Structure 1
């Protein structure tokens, strides 16, 4: 029989599954394999979804399942979308009544399905949406928009808002993700918009993909120039090649071009960018000011009353701006949750767990809200990081491998601690992510490593917190007066762009004047046990008179012992769990 949920239209024979692996043919009926079963049920702010022009700062209950009807290279949710069977053990049964009760208890204004595509759990989402509307809750989702017209029209009466994730504009680009063509997506945007559903779009901006995103914007503009477009700067996860990642600077240039096509275009995955803020097109006032708030997310930090400029221009919002800002704890909520899962995966990988079925069984056991909640605190200090490795090694029967990894790390930590006794003076150090004005939080692991390596981290004086940091002003960074500046190895920018930004914005301190600005190597400062390489890099850089770790040999040994690969045959990516893309010579 033919599946009618999405336009891929799988022909599913009796007892078999469709492309997304989430539906089966049972007695000539299309049956959802894991009905009313959720991987996450967490409260979030709507900008984390992300959604920028619908009920800003309001609190929603995020639900997600597993599986997806697409297979896109570099997917941020790959762990959830590609391992449906393996992760099924982590799913928790919950009826629509259960979910609605949780939303009410958490004082949420609505329910949003995101992280994986609702097409993978269509009937579960449809039934939940129906009951949520009866309970006077808003309902929305983030989707690739590949529903059949029939499936979409059945869902529309219960939808208030939707984010359509565009893969590009061409049929070729959609075929890369396993779809047939681009047309159904743009058709569905028009159907949703004309039905009165609040529509926002998001699109990955891939290096050399200017034409794809520009033409996609033109397609959206043909429906309405007021539909917001969220430009997601591509970050190479999984097997995606590093050269596909555009710089923040280059991404801002494409946003400038896109703003000549659509009225509201924003840049995500770019810490420190000013291109998340809504400005009045008449007088240039900042109406809604936002900052980076984790992968694929943002946060409203300031707004004029109801999004209205003193000159009278109104941001086209649907729903009120909430007075209070809900703050998700740690990595709970939004796409930060996928990073937490990947961190656990990263440790398991170094313990030698490579088989997908075994990995899925283990992840299914640990992907629980309490584990993810506790994970955030356990990755902020060296000792607790080592305890986390020990914990996962014991859970998986890999005590020997865990002890070997811990011993490798501890030996190098001890050498740095021993060298610290020779330090006569500690330079002041600033740690940023992306652009200079996005400062990592005071208690972050990276800032703790700086101090353990003999620096005085000026981030420690910052009191406001974000995910994983906050925007600060030029005056603030100049007052911090760092002698050294480090750029995170995750969601990074080239040092040359960083310096250019400093000059353009009047950032003037000793580090800038003497050019003491360093990129931490990709994947070495956060998210995986490779942080020990970054720790040695920091020690070498902050105190070259004391430390002289041979980082090339250290990397070779780490990769060989804990990944089983030769470093000469890899290309480093941004992925936590998989260290690099293996190449052949």
Structure 2
């Protein structure tokens, strides 16, 4: 048990958590929406600090981050819990942790995590699999130590962190991939329980803070895959985050509470990629299906500057972040 950051006392021994945009008001002895932050005697505690439920070395492309040190490895961790209740969560066995069930996870203190990441030859630590916001204290302490050792830090997030929490960790956070699950407020509420506007505000805040940002949209048939909605998402990215922001359009596979929904066909991803290109985005990637377009193309001359197959780099025509064919700069970090 570790005292939480970002909370305040209210009336009658209640506390308000100010870590994510739900800003839960939590009564004595009760848990927040994430099921891993508890009010005990008028103080808010994290129940998952140092309790690692998932730990492995991943290619950075798996996050997916295609413009942050491509081809590198990232030491990837998670605890249980999440503040979203996504109907299609592929990691629901650890993200949707039941109230009252003992918290699981191996003890992995920040110093030991950073030591393992360094010894493994990783260039970064990824806070991923569930939602890093809900294990913020653990991620923050790890990120500070990691930065001191020359490691990068990346979030794979649903984009619902409060401005004050994001600003505190921003000096230690190098990159993030944020989900943009829909551009319909009603669909967002149905799929996740969250508000679209809060996600859009968080995306803008990441951009304003100068954190390298990539956006992922999982396209669900009949849910968020119309031309109108895809165009709205692409236009938002161009207008608010910039045309150099990579957009990953990925395929849905039936899972959790959406097992009756069909898989996303490759043609939908290809259509989304065309819509993104027409909107002015320079870097659009398809994912989760064989035959998906995963290559980075120079926006000036059209040459392939990074070729990929799955999570592996198969070709590279870049020198110091510039296209080897026309010398145009390619957006990103560590290219």
- TM-score (norm. length: structure 2): 0.88
Q: Which position in structure 1 is the counterpart of 2:332? A: 317
1:408-434 CA distance string (max 9 Å, x none): xxxxxxxxxxxxxxxxxxxxxxxxxxx
Q: Which position in structure 2 is the counterpart of 1:233? A: 251
Separation in structure 1 between the aligned mates of residue 262 and residue 140 of structure 2, nearest angstrom: 36
Contact 1:40–1:64 (CA under 8 A) maintained in structure 2: yes
Matched, 1:55 2:69: yes
Q: Which position in structure 2 is the counterpart of 1:300? A: 313
Contact 1:146–1:184 (CA under 8 A) maintained in structure 2: yes
Q: Which position in structure 2 is the counterpart of 1:248? A: 266
Q: Which position in structure 1 is the counterpart of 2:231? A: 214
Separation in structure 2 between the aligned mates of residue 86 and residue 212 of structure 1, nearest angstrom: 39
CA positional deviation for 1:45: 1.6
Contact 1:117–1:144 (CA under 8 A) maintained in structure 2: yes
Counterparts of 1:166-185 in structure 2, within 5 Å, are 166-185=180-199
User: Comparing both structures, which one devotes a greater share of its residues to helix?
Assistant: 1
Separation in structure 1 between the aligned mates of residue 252 and residue 192 of structure 2, nearest angstrom: 19
Contact 2:47–2:103 (CA under 8 A) maintained in structure 1: no
CA positional deviation for 1:242: 4.1
Calculate the aligned-residue CA RMSD, in Å. Answer: 1.9
CA positional deviation for 1:158: 1.1
1:508-529 CA distance string (max 9 Å, x none): xxxxxxxxxxxxxxxxxxxxxx
Counterparts of 1:418-457 in structure 2, within 5 Å, are none
Q: How many residues align?
A: 314
Larger of the two Rg values belongs to structure: 1
> SS where residue 259 of structure 1 aligns?
helix
Q: Which position in structure 2 is the counterpart of 1:4? A: 18
Counterparts of 1:227-376 in structure 2, within 5 Å, are 227-261=245-279, 262-273=281-292, 275-292=293-310, 298-306=311-319, 308-320=323-335
Contact 1:23–1:31 (CA under 8 A) maintained in structure 2: yes
Separation in structure 2 between the aligned mates of residue 277 and residue 84 of structure 1, nearest angstrom: 40
More displaced 10-residue stretch of structure 1: 86-95 or 165-174: 86-95
Separation in structure 2 between the aligned mates of residue 25 and residue 257 of structure 1, nearest angstrom: 47
Residues 12 and 233 of structure 1, relative CA distance in 2, 3 Å threshold: same
CA positional deviation for 1:85: 6.1
Separation in structure 1 between the aligned mates of residue 49 and residue 303 of structure 2, nearest angstrom: 48
CA positional deviation for 1:89: 5.8
Among 201, 210, 235, the alignment partner of 2:215 is 201
CA positional deviation for 1:151: 1.2
Contact 2:38–2:46 (CA under 8 A) maintained in structure 1: yes
Contact 2:88–2:191 (CA under 8 A) maintained in structure 1: no
Contact 1:80–1:87 (CA under 8 A) maintained in structure 2: no
Counterparts of 1:505-544 in structure 2, within 5 Å, are none
Separation in structure 1 between the aligned mates of residue 210 and residue 56 of structure 2, nearest angstrom: 27
Contact 1:47–1:300 (CA under 8 A) maintained in structure 2: no
Residues 107 and 219 of structure 1, relative CA distance in 2, 3 Å threshold: same
Q: Which position in structure 2 is the counterpart of 1:131? A: 145
CA positional deviation for 1:244: 4.2
Q: Which position in structure 2 is the counterpart of 1:487? A: none
User: Comparing both structures, which one devotes a greater share of its residues to strand?
Assistant: 2
Gapped runs of 5+ residues in structure 1? Answer: 293-297, 321-585
CA positional deviation for 1:116: 0.6
CA positional deviation for 1:283: 3.5
Contact 1:291–1:301 (CA under 8 A) maintained in structure 2: yes
Separation in structure 1 between the aligned mates of residue 102 and residue 53 of structure 2, nearest angstrom: 8
Separation in structure 2 between the aligned mates of residue 184 and residue 250 of structure 1, nearest angstrom: 27
Matched, 1:40 2:54: yes
Residues 291 and 242 of structure 1, relative CA distance in 2, 3 Å threshold: farther
CA positional deviation for 1:250: 2.6
Separation in structure 2 between the aligned mates of residue 13 and residue 300 of structure 1, nearest angstrom: 50
Separation in structure 2 between the aligned mates of residue 281 and residue 24 of structure 1, nearest angstrom: 49
1:247-283 CA distance string (max 9 Å, x none): 112321121111222221100011122x111123344
Residues 178 and 234 of structure 1, relative CA distance in 2, 3 Å threshold: closer
CA positional deviation for 1:287: 1.2
Separation in structure 2 between the aligned mates of residue 13 and residue 245 of structure 1, nearest angstrom: 41
Matched, 1:192 2:209: no
Separation in structure 2 between the aligned mates of residue 166 and residue 119 of structure 1, nearest angstrom: 16
> SS where residue 329 of structure 2 aligns?
coil
